[in-house]
Structure 1
Amino acid sequence: MSLTSSLHIAQSALATSQIGLQVTSQNLANAATPGYTRQVALLQAVRGSVTDPFIIGSGVAIQEVRRQIDTALQSRLWNANSEEYNNAQQLNVFNQLEAILNEGTEYDLSSELSSFFNVWSEATTLLDSSSTVINQGKSIASFIKNMREDLLDQRQQIENQIDSQATQADALFAEIAQINSTISNSEIGETEASALRDRRDQIVTQLSQLVEITTVETNQGGYDVFIGSTPIVQGNRSRGITIDRQSQGGTVNVTLNTADNNDTLTVTSGSIGGLLNSRDGAIDETIEKLDQIASNLIFEVNKIHSTGINEDWLSTALGTLQISTANQSLPLNDPANRDLADLPYAPENGGFFVNIRNEDTGTSDQIWVPVDLDGIDTLGTASVADDTSAEDIRAAIDAIPGLTASFDPSGRLQIDAASGFSFSFSEDSSGVLATLGVNTFFQGIDSTDIAVRDDVTVMLGRLAPDGSFSANENANLLGQLGTQAINGLGGQNIEKFWSIQSQNVAVQAASARTQADAAFLVRQSLDNQRAGVSGVSIDEESINLLTFQRQYQGAAQVITAAQEMFDTLLTLV
């Protein structure tokens, strides 16, 4: 090997150590930079010439400067990010939901239900029982409506968050596509555009917090990004995402779709996934259960109240259900009769008694009004054609001497007693009086509009089967209603039904809390693993700095020695 070769080897060592020092300096400068990936200068020995008898080698060269990253670990970290934000978002929703329900305090729905039923039981001992019962009825109706408003406000807040985060995610997808293009134009040969790749990974990290994604690196250095199996970013093009809302059966379905052709995306994780799951799950389910409570409370209270009386019987009664003229002649159980088919409750096959009293003589008569809703015609065929309509009921009542029945301009059943007569109802096995809203306590159909009737007359008494008057029987029945099994609630009583729903929310909240804690620990562990692989160690870089410094010094000494040897040779010439 000649002195010239030694100089060339030393020169390569100088150049290599300079680049090594630059890489080390870059790492030290970015030791605290979020998202920075440690760079490593990969050295490669240069092969010597085959004409060299010893083939010692020709020095050292930088093979490439590479980001130190474990792609499999990075993908796991992005998935863990999605899971953590999904669980954290659901936990946040459950915390808000528990605050709205406020169960376990004296200001919860369970307490309101107990107070409402208790006031009926205590009505016989109160000086102003009617006023007290009405006020308690207004209190629970207001409580239910306010709770529904709070739940709707929470759902709207979720809707706003979904819109905002979808817009944010769409912008991130577009930015990834743009960086893909820049990287493919910047990288030449084995050289990596490290800063651009770090920036892109940071964007993917932000994106993974919003929605679960997978990435596939292309030969050009770009990322193809998928939600599920659907590609969103391909090379330098982003299809974009958008929120789609479709009304169906009284509910609004919310989905995340591609912006270019409206393909529906399956979103199961990330913050957006957590919001969608919470909206469609916990919030909508609680609203549905609250509606069930309200509609069954309305119907069951009204069924009892409609057949109640006081010592003074009725002289007039106005229903609350508005039935269009076209539907008045349709059977009550006809699916085409939307005024009744859209109700959350329905009358049954049965009937009721109308009691008519002559106020002058004190005598009374009892007339049975059948309600045929068996769905079978006179030939025994399944059909509603000859079943009872609202008009049939009106005509039957109107045919009773001393009573007139009609539909007012808004389609409500109006019953009036002639002068000197009064009337009442009893033994309604069909529930049709409660359905039509005749002599009822509540009006409305569910938690959206439950209210005590403005014209309500509280009915505490009831006629016994033998026709005798029992002053407090209706109040007693209403007081016991809270613990009575109700078909519309799956055989559970009202208080138990809501208690189970509240417990379910508490259990789901506890589960969400556990899952959120677990997801945090998993993400934290993977974050630490990534830091071990890709993070900058000050100690390690200090050692590298010293190594390259010594390499540079050694190479300089070789050059000095070679120069002295040259000088010696020249003196011999």
Structure 2
Amino acid sequence: MALLGPSFQTGRSALAAYQSALAIVGQNIANVGNPNYTRLSGRLTPQLGGPTLGGVAPGAGVRLSHLNRHIDESIESQLRLAIATRSGADVRRTQLSRVESLYNELTEQDLSTQLTQFFSSFGEVQTAPADGAPRQGVLVAADAMVRTIRRQRSGLLTQISDLNQLAVEGARRAGEIAREIAQINQQVVSEEARGQSVSGPLRDRRDTLLKELADYMNVQVREQPNGSVNVYVGSQPLVEFNRSRGLTTQIELVDGYERASIRFADDQSSVVLRAGKLAGIVETRDVHLVNQLDRLDGLARGLIREVNQVHGQGRGLTGYSSMQSAHFAANPAAPLGSTAAGLPFPVQNGTMIVHVRDPQTGQEITRQIEIDLDGIGSNDTTLETLANDLDEVPGLNAFVGSDGRLNISGENGQQFWFTEDSSGVLSAVGIGAFFTGTDAATIDVSADLRRDPGLIAASASGAINDGDNAGLLAVLGDRASGLLGGVGLHTYHSRTISELAVSTAAALGELDASDTVFASLTAQRESISGVSLDEEAINLQKFERAFQGATRYLTVLDSLADEVLSLVR
């Protein structure tokens, strides 16, 4: 049957080719709802054949020579970048909105309102300095404000801890994805080396993993001639052929806060993150949240320093009979303004007045205490020399305890207080302090004032009915503070809230913009890589008829073969 053999081969090749073409159409239709699927098509190629008996060479049929994936790598790259940008913006927006909820501004319980209520409460004391109720109101307002400051700081620290955990989980998942990509690289190379076309399912799975990896970090993908891909984070390789460097985290203490840093597992080098969830986590934690903590600590420091400085220069319904400074010196023999002294607030060259009064006789003496911090000679004031100067004042005993705190007491029930401090030593050492502590974590109302609200220093002159010092405290929220960059407490806090609002709005705007870009790129990808049922229906009909035609052709050949055989019987 050599006469019809080539014709049968042509028919068989047509059946095989169009059966494969129909299988491709079926695969496309089956994945029409799969957003990660890349449309396939086959390339039909005529086969060469020898001449017929008539001397012509029409060919030896057809074969499906290549399987095409309809994909635009440029769009895929842009889509991965859009995914990373959107994910990072979403993390920032979510976490900054959480901070806004923590601050709870524009309510009656927010810190802005409580600051106003605290300073306003001193106005009530100024009006009735001898009345106990307004003094109690000051303590209530102060307690509410302190609780809010400490609650907000605790909330920010909790959020930082949560972000550290998200960083650990995100790095773990990204590392798993990278390992799977490396494994698929090996499978793609092996599979395609055996066949004649690309492995659609493996490549689709790898592309899906690359997009998932882009959700966590900025990645660049470079396909190699053997079909594998190398994956880079910035300029640093993460996956090369069948090897992944892996990702891990390391907990570090930076500026007093624990931070989970993202590192390559193979050599512990840092991963440079510019987009994606992990970049959003790191930026939100290290920039926005740490800044909020610093500003909250700054507000608390400014509040403690400014209130204590004014409060320490006034007198309550009675003077102090004894006190211990709220702060201690790390080295009592070091000049007060030096780093070695370790005082929490600045001290400068100046003076202060100490008043000592005998409540029995009404006799009062005053002494000016010099705070020498001019740096000339070796006689700059230390906590020890300050204690000695105070101890020399008639009616006073003063010494520095083993804990580095200044202790002052009146002899035989005599009372004392301080005024006209131009050096800042009262707030630096914590003499006559309203607040204890040095930052948002440690701020509290003095235990002495809690025990005796009469010690609230409303008087500037020492007279019981004088509320002038309370008046100074009432307007203190608007007075410029050197610790706060030359602005008042109200302005400083308002700027904190404004900066947060701007950052949140920027993150939301970036998220909206990236959503738009992502939607546009997704539509472009769908137009190239997506499955059109209308188009597949046309292909289905075309290849069905081609298959039927090949079947009919073989049937005719079979009939002809029977006739030829009948001639030789």
TM-score (norm 2): 0.93
Structure 1: how far apart are the matches of 2:354 and 2:419?
A: 7
Structure 2: how far apart are the matches of 1:252 and 1:386?
A: 42
Structure 1: how far apart are the matches of 2:81 and 2:534?
A: 31
- Name the CA shift for 1:178/1:570 in 2 (closer, same or farther; >3 Å): closer
| CA distances 1:521-555 after superposition (whole Å, capped 9, x unpaired) | 21122112212222222221111111111111112
**Offset, 1:253:** 4.7
Structure 2: how far apart are the matches of 1:162 and 1:386?
A: 54
Residue 532 in 1 paired to residue 527 in 2? yes
Equivalent residue, structure 1, for 2:545:
550
2:319 alignment partner, SS class: coil
Q: Which amino acid aligns with 1:400?
A: V
**Offset, 1:232:** 1.1
**Offset, 1:359:** 4.0
Structure 2: how far apart are the matches of 1:178 and 1:186?
A: 12
Equivalent residue, structure 2, for 1:381:
none
Residue 331 in 1 paired to residue 330 in 2? no
Structure 2: how far apart are the matches of 1:312 and 1:156?
A: 47
Q: Which amino acid aligns with 1:206?
A: E
**Offset, 1:59:** 2.0
**Offset, 1:562:** 3.5
| CA distances 1:437-474 after superposition (whole Å, capped 9, x unpaired) | 111110000100110011122111012xxx88871011
Structure 1, unaligned stretches of length 5 or more?
379-384
Residue 103 in 1 paired to residue 79 in 2? no
Q: What does 1:35-184 align with in structure 2 at a 5 Å threshold?
A: 35-49=36-50, 54-123=56-125, 124-125=127-128, 128-184=133-189
Residue 262 in 1 paired to residue 268 in 2? yes
Q: Which amino acid aligns with 1:95?
A: S
Residue 484 in 1 paired to residue 501 in 2? no
**Offset, 1:266:** 0.8
User: Does structure 1 conserve the Cα–Cα contact (< 8 Å) formed by 2:22 and 2:544?
Assistant: yes
**Offset, 1:564:** 4.1
Structure 2: how far apart are the matches of 1:442 and 1:487?
A: 18
Segment drifting more, 314-323 vs 354-363: 354-363
Segment drifting more, 219-228 vs 245-254: 245-254
1:429 alignment partner, SS class: coil
Residue 433 in 1 paired to residue 419 in 2? no
Segment drifting more, 238-247 vs 25-34: 25-34
**Offset, 1:567:** 4.8
Structure 2: how far apart are the matches of 1:329 and 1:540?
A: 90
Q: What does 1:295-306 align with in structure 2 at a 5 Å threshold?
A: 295-306=301-312
**Offset, 1:90:** 0.8
User: Does structure 2 conserve the Cα–Cα contact (< 8 Å) formed by 1:151 and 1:283?
Assistant: yes
User: Does structure 1 conserve the Cα–Cα contact (< 8 Å) formed by 2:167 and 2:262?
Assistant: no
Out of 450, 458, 461, the position equivalent to 1:460 is: 458
User: Does structure 1 conserve the Cα–Cα contact (< 8 Å) formed by 2:103 and 2:110?
Assistant: yes
Structure 2: how far apart are the matches of 1:153 and 1:509?
A: 19
Structure 1: how far apart are the matches of 2:518 and 2:71?
A: 17
| CA distances 1:390-409 after superposition (whole Å, capped 9, x unpaired) | 11111110111211101234
Residue 507 in 1 paired to residue 502 in 2? yes
User: Does structure 1 conserve the Cα–Cα contact (< 8 Å) formed by 2:168 and 2:260?
Assistant: no
1:419 alignment partner, SS class: helix
Q: Which amino acid aligns with 1:458?
A: I
Segment drifting more, 257-266 vs 197-206: 197-206
Q: Which amino acid aligns with 1:401?
A: P
**Offset, 1:57:** 2.8
Equivalent residue, structure 2, for 1:350:
350
User: Does structure 1 conserve the Cα–Cα contact (< 8 Å) formed by 2:164 and 2:259?
Assistant: no
Structure 2: how far apart are the matches of 1:336 and 1:319?
A: 18
- Name the CA shift for 1:163/1:420 in 2 (closer, same or farther; >3 Å): closer
| CA distances 1:351-392 after superposition (whole Å, capped 9, x unpaired) | 211122344543322211111223x323xxxxxx54221111
Segment drifting more, 534-543 vs 142-151: 534-543
Q: Which amino acid aligns with 2:234?
A: G
Residue 475 in 1 paired to residue 481 in 2? no
- Name the CA shift for 1:336/1:312 in 2 (closer, same or farther; >3 Å): closer
**Offset, 1:183:** 2.1
Structure 2: how far apart are the matches of 1:105 and 1:306?
A: 32
Q: Which amino acid aligns with 1:20?
A: A
Equivalent residue, structure 1, for 2:9:
8
Structure 2: how far apart are the matches of 1:230 and 1:425?
A: 63
Equivalent residue, structure 2, for 1:239:
245
User: Does structure 1 conserve the Cα–Cα contact (< 8 Å) formed by 2:51 and 2:58?
Assistant: no
User: Does structure 2 conserve the Cα–Cα contact (< 8 Å) formed by 1:462 and 1:469?
Assistant: no
Q: Which amino acid aligns with 1:522?
A: V
Structure 1: how far apart are the matches of 2:85 and 2:188?
A: 29
Q: Which amino acid aligns with 2:434?
A: F
2:239 alignment partner, SS class: strand
Q: Which amino acid aligns with 1:406?
A: F
Q: Which amino acid aligns with 1:296?
A: G
User: Does structure 2 conserve the Cα–Cα contact (< 8 Å) formed by 1:310 and 1:462?
Assistant: no
Equivalent residue, structure 1, for 2:452:
none
Q: What does 1:277-292 align with in structure 2 at a 5 Å threshold?
A: 277-292=283-298
Structure 2, unaligned stretches of length 5 or more?
450-454
Taking only aligned residues, the RMSD between alpha carbons, in angstroms, comes to: 2.2
User: Does structure 2 conserve the Cα–Cα contact (< 8 Å) formed by 1:37 and 1:535?
Assistant: yes
**Offset, 1:572:** 6.2
Q: How many equivalent pairs are there? A: 557
